[in-house]
Amino acid sequence: MDLQQLDLFAKDIIRQAGQRIRDAFSYDLKVETKSDANDLVTNIDRETEVFFIEKIKEYDSSHKILGEEGMGEKVESLDGVVWIIDPIDGTMNFVKQHRHFMITIGIFVEGVGKLGYIYDVMREDLFCAMTGHGAWYNDTPLRKLKPVKLEEAVIGINATWVTPNKKVNHEKLIELVRTVRGTRSYGAAAMEIAFVVSGKLDAYLSMRLSPWDVAGGIIIAQEVGALASNLKGQPFNLLMQDTFMIANPSIHGQILAQYVELK
């Protein structure tokens, strides 16, 4: 397995896909809903996923692809080479704001994360990592995260989780929001993860994410020393939905222990 070559190929098709999405703004967007009225998908999400599948199968037909829109084959294990792809993370931002949406990809070899990518399509900014070799923001190496106090932390959290809900004790999260210096909510999980690995946020948590939301990000996280887990502190399960947190290592344990009480 030539990881350098695979990395160049992945970056090339990510940039090509980004160009296609930027060009597609001049066409009609067909917006549909999925699991609920706020869960959106467009023809561009699906077409982008199909684009990746075709390119990857041309490159090596043995590679498996797990994509959000399910346009590839069924992937039930991480045996072999598996690409976990979200063709557009932040579809609502894509539809409504025409910015702040990402292509994100994680490439796993026999279950081990090797290459991770988060690409801001409109800014043409790429966060990436190769396991054991470091992480980059475009051409600039990302540094190991420096310790931060919870009182000085800025965290990413969706306001939903600070209102009464079935997943988590929201009173505890209100305490967290009051303790930290500030909160942000960008509406694209991969973007918030990219901000944590580059020190622009100190933590990001969500009660419900899928493998494709986090696969690329957790590979980048390792290289900068960010801790990624589910909200029980276990490894995120890459074959199903799970709770999620990524944080600066100096506050990861503290947030889980003092502020997260799952129902």
For ligand 2AM, which is the closer residue by CB, 52 or 130?
52
Q: Is 202 in the site for Ca ion (CB under 5 A)?
A: no
**H-type alpha helices, the chain:** 3-24, 43-59, 91-96, 170-179, 189-197, 211-224, 249-259
What string marks each residue from 208 to 227 as x (binds Ca ion by CB under 5 A) or -? Answer: -----x--------------
| CA-closest candidate to residue 205, choices 160, 250, 166 | 160
Q: How many CB atoms lie within 10 A of CB 59?
A: 13
Buried b (16+ CB within 10 A) or exposed e, 108-119: bbeeebbbbbbb
| CA-closest candidate to residue 156, choices 121, 96, 197, 103 | 197
68 is in an annotated binding site: yes
88 is in an annotated binding site: yes
Q: In angstroms, give the least distance from the CB of 25 to ligand 2AM.
A: 17
**Residues 131, 210, 229, 243: which binds ligand 2AM (CB under 6 A)?**
210
Which residue of this chain has its Cβ atom nearest to ligand 2AM in the complex? Answer: 189
Q: Is 68 in the site for Ca ion (CB under 5 A)?
A: yes
Q: Is 86 in the site for ligand 2AM (CB under 6 A)?
A: yes
Residues making contact with Ca ion (CB under 5 A): 68, 86, 88-89, 213
